[in-house]
Amino acid sequence: MKVLIPSALRSYTEESEAEASGATLAAVLADLERKYPGIRFRMIDEQDRIRRHIRIFVNGGQVHELSQPLAASDEVVIVQALSGG
């Protein structure tokens, strides 16, 4: 499936899109990690939760759980939230 990569993570992929496969969001992120070592840690914390500054959307809807089932035709968009003061 197509995964859109935010600019902050493109140092891993060198592209704005990546291909990954898996039956769940966790499996897709594991596939990305196999292809681009280190990328998963930038999105997922030590408690296996999506980091608070990362938003992940599947087909336009925000996903909060790594157990979210996915289909090969789904589009995953990873967004890095902006913060500051």
Closest CA to 28 of 62, 61, 58: 58
Q: For residues 75 and 66, what is the distance between their CA atoms, to the nearest angstrom?
A: 15
Q: Tell me the pLDDT band of 10, cut-offs 50, 70 and 90.
A: very high
User: What are the pLDDT digits (tens) for 20-76?
Assistant: 999 999 999 999 999 999 999 999 999 999 999 999 999 999 999 999 999 999 999
Quote the pLDDT of residue 84: 58
Would you give the distance in Å from CA 48 to the centre of its chain?
13
| DSSP category for residue 73 | T
Boundaries of every domain in the chain: 2-80
- Give pLDDT, residue 81: 80
User: How much is the pLDDT for 17?
Assistant: 97
Give the CATH H-level superfamily of domain 2-80: Beta-grasp domain (3.10.20.30)
